[in-house]
Structures are given as structure tokens and as C-alpha cells.
Amino acid sequence: MPTPRTLFDKIWDDHVVADLGDGFALLHVDRHLITDAGSKALVDMRQRGLEMRNPELAFASPDHSVSTLPGRASPTPQGVRLLGDLRREAQARGIRVFDVGSGSQGIVHVMGPEQGLTLPGALVVCADSHTCTHGGLGALGFGIGASEFVHIAVTQTLVQAKPRNMRIRFVGRLAQGVSAKDMILHAAGVVGTAGGTGHAIEYAGDAVTALDVEARLTLCNLSVELGAKIGMVAPDEKTYAYLRGRPYAPAGQDWDVAVAYWRTLRSDADACFDREVLIDTAGIAPQVTWGTSPEQVVAIDGVVPDPAGIDDPQRRLSVQAALDYMGLNPGQRIAGTPVDRVFIGSCTNARLSDLRSAAAVVRGRKVAARVQAWVVPGSEHIKQAAEAEGLDGIFLAAGFQWRDPGCSMCLAANGDLAARGERVVSTSNRNFVGRQGPGARTHLTSPAMAAAAAVAGAICDVRDFKATPA
């Protein structure tokens, strides 16, 4: 009998070129995604006279340094340089760039799945920590560093230590008004930002199977916020339906061969996980982060912690520091906290289904007077598709800005940032100190919760909003 293996073990094994011992392996890389933020490595390679082995397996899209204002020129000198580097270096090597205005540009973790570049069982890398997103399609995706970038570009392989296996099982049904973002924020609260360190996480359970592919991408997107470089969902019929007909997905006979392989990509029933976490999905309410780390999260009907009640002195200090930065009082209810800005965007939550769920809340309503609210679609494709079904009109009529695709206020790029002390409800994945601008305060939520906050002018429970008929 062969040893039972996990989904992750199987994909790992299929990519081992050489076993290097001590848990290390040389792995083949199927897709190397390149952002403008990672393009410096290409410049370094040229200066060192290093050739790229398989430029046809590398795909680039500018995202961090593109302006999201119509016109699209980066307003910062750094952005201009990164964009210029990416275009010049990619062109010199024949790397396909999904460039601004091509109709296909997008945040790289949105573009990859959308183009069918991300496939079940494929090893996908990018010099960006949220490459774990691609696991939503059953790919083995993870972020790499600058030296690994060069190794991959030159050899199409990389050396990795094999992480351990972890499984988070979400059992039971997701309640109305609750989404994949709430599931993963809740999980961050349960396991903490170091809970997945050194592990590849598989998300499983009936609540995960019930998610559509875009929601699975959201789920996997925050794996790195749980400390894991890798997060995955086993591919299934929904995965195949999502991929069929995409530009880079296999076609014809190749499609049948691929699907036959993809069907083998699931954890064996008796596969062993080094760590297992069980989460009762039915008990999850819409989540809001209150602090400066994704694990500092609370249900919308909850209160922020009171440091006075925390025994561990280090934890007490860090909770106090987070409350101070966020301008919140110990033990206060999170609901009702007034907000200044709402950002619906990022590789976490700027796909069509995200924009639809936000629009369903916004339709027929107005953004509160003192709130600045933005929608930044994840890609040019999504922007077009959303416009084709009139979502832009809903957002614009409500008083949102409808911007062009890019990372934008997720990381305060290109002047897209909040002012010191401003409170932002954001659909992105990081609420670190200064992430959305020096002194800016970030609360992470789902798109529907962000939309509700924009309308109410305060953090509030989206379940209190009745959908207005179209």
C-alpha cells in the first residue's frame, strides 16, 4: 500500500527534480509571475549577465506602481522607474506583460487565475507574499525572495524546505451575510498570525466545498497572514468549470488529460496532518479587525479587548499599543465606530463576486456625507465585466469613486493613501501600522461589510441592511 498523502504532498512530489536531503528539494517551477515591485531582480540579472531559461513560463502585470486614477501614469518617481524597468526588462526577454490598457492588466494574483495561468497542481511563484492566493484553484503557490527569483529565472527550479501539513476544516453552513473573508479573518483570530508558520495549509470541510472559486481565492489569500506561505483548496467541478475556456487553460484533448490528473489532487482519506484545526462555520458572524494585526479580530457584535484583563504582560502591552494606535477604548463595542474612508479593492476582495456583493448593499443608497469611498477593481477584465452589468453606475450614484485596477490603497501606493488618524474600512488583507498611510487606521472586513460601513458612516452589521430591489 502506498503511503497516504495530502493534496500538498502530491503536488510537491510531482515537482521534485532532486531530493537534496534534510527535508530540502529542488522543485520545478511551472509559472513565474512578475510584478512591477519585483522587477528589480530582472535589472540585476542583466547587470550580472544572467540569461532567463524559460521566459515563456514567466508572466508579468504591473500592479503595485500603477495609478488607479484614469490616465494611469504613476504619479511617483519610484513608480515610474519600477514600471519602466518591468516593461523594458520583460520586452528584452520576451516575457508576456499584461500591460495597462491591454484589457488584461490586473493585480497579479487576480490576473493569474483569470488568464488560466494558475492551474490545479501547478507550482506558481511570485516575488510577493500573497502568491498563496493561487491555492484557491488547487495550485501550489508561494511567495519568493529576490535571490530565489534569480535562481528560478536562470534554472526554472528552486530549492525549498518542505513545510509540514496543516488542515483547517470549516464544518457547517455559512450564515447569511457572512463570506469567505469572514471565515479566514475568524481563522486568523483562532490560530494567530504564527499559527501556520512552517506549514502548508489545506482548507477543507463542507463550508469550503460550498464556496465558489473566487471565494476560495479570498480564503487562500490570507494564508500568509496566518504565518503559512501556502494555502490550498482541493480542485473540484467548480474549479474545472471556472478554468474551462480561459486563455491559458488547456484545451481539446489536453483539457481531458489535465482534468483526469486534477481529479487525483485531493488528500487521501487517511493522510496525516501535522496540525488540524476545526472551525464551526455556522458560529461565524461578520468579522472586523480592531487592531494592527489580522489576528486582532472580533465579531461585529463583539467588543475590543480590555488590556486590564490580560495577564501576560507582553500581550497586555501589545493590545494596549494596538488600541492606542487605532484610537479605540478598552472594551468598547466595535459596531458604531465612525469611519472616514472605505476601500473596496486588493487581491483579497476585488473580484467580480466581491463587487457584486458590495453593490447589493450599496444599490439605491448613498455613501455617508463625511466618508470617502473607493472601489478599485482587481483587473481590467473585472472592471469591464462590472461595467457591463451596471455595477459602476450603482457605486457612482451612491458617491463612490470608481477607479482603475491596481494595488492602490491596500499598501498606500502611488499617493492612494489615507491621512494620519483617518479610519479606513478596507477589504484588503493587512492592517499593519502605517499600511494605508502613516498614522492611518485600518479595519479589515468583507466587501459587503465595507459597503455597509460606507453607507452608515460607521462600522456596522451588514445583516441589518435589507437588500433594495434592483
Ligand X SMILES: CC(C)[C@H](C(=O)O)[C@@H](O)C(=O)O
Going by their DSSP bridges, the two strands 199-204 and 372-375 should be labelled as unpaired
Give least dist CB 62 to ligand X, A: 12
- Residue 429, amino acid: N
Give least dist CB 469 to ligand SF4, A: 33
Residue 157 interacts with ligand SF4 (CB under 6 A)? no
How far from chain centre, in Å, is Cα 440? 21
Residue 32 interacts with ligand X (CB under 6 A)? no
The 3-state DSSP class for residue 459 equals: coil
Contacting ligand X (CB under 6 A), which of 36, 128, 295, 392?
A: 128
Residue 129 interacts with ligand X (CB under 6 A)? yes
Closest CA to 377 of 388, 366, 363: 388
DSSP code per residue over 58-78 = EEEE--TTS--STT---SSHH
Give least dist CB 293 to ligand SF4, A: 15
Residues of this chain, 419-438, that bind ligand SF4 according to CB under 6 A: 428-429
Residues of this chain, 299-338, that bind ligand X according to CB under 6 A: none
Closer residue to ligand SF4, CB minimum distance, 10 or 109? 109
DSSP code per residue over 285-320 = PPEEE-SSSTT-EEETTSB---GGG--SHHHHHHHH
Q: Cell 479570498 belongs to which residue? A: 218
Residue 36 interacts with ligand SF4 (CB under 6 A)? no
Residue 229 interacts with ligand X (CB under 6 A)? no
Residue 34 interacts with ligand SF4 (CB under 6 A)? no
Task: Give the C-alpha separation, 309 to 307, whole Å.
Answer: 5
Residues of this chain, 321-360, that bind ligand SF4 according to CB under 6 A: 346-347
Closest CA to 116 of 11, 267, 262: 262
Q: How far apart are the first and last CA of the chain?
A: 57
Q: How many residues lie near ligand X (CB under 6 A)?
A: 7
Closer residue to ligand SF4, CB minimum distance, 97 or 207? 97
Closer residue to ligand X, CB minimum distance, 37 or 271? 37
Residue 37 interacts with ligand X (CB under 6 A)? yes
Closer residue to ligand X, CB minimum distance, 82 or 454? 82
Q: Would you give the DSSP letter of residue 333?
A: B
**Total residue length of the chain:** 470
Closer residue to ligand SF4, CB minimum distance, 200 or 410? 410
Contact between 43 and 155 (Cβ < 8 Å)? no
Which residues fall within 8 angstroms of residue 39, CB to CB, at 6 or more apart? 60, 82, 85, 86, 89, 90
Closer residue to ligand X, CB minimum distance, 42 or 411? 411
Closer residue to ligand SF4, CB minimum distance, 205 or 231? 231
- From 168-176, 260-268, 407-415, 444-452, span contacting ligand SF4 (CB under 6 A): 407-415
Task: Give the C-alpha separation, 263 to 247, whole Å.
Answer: 21
Q: Would you give the DSSP letter of residue 224?
A: G
From residue 2, give the alpha-carbon distance in Å to each of 5, 25, 268, 270. Answer: 9, 21, 11, 11
- From 122-130, 161-169, 252-260, 321-329, span contacting ligand X (CB under 6 A): 122-130
Residues of this chain, 393-432, that bind ligand X according to CB under 6 A: 411
Chain residue whose CB lies nearest ligand X: 129
Interface contacts to ligand SF4, rule CB under 6 A = 63-64, 107, 128, 130, 346-347, 407, 410-411, 428-429
Task: Enumerate binding residues for ligand X (CB under 6 A).
Answer: 37, 64, 128-130, 143, 411
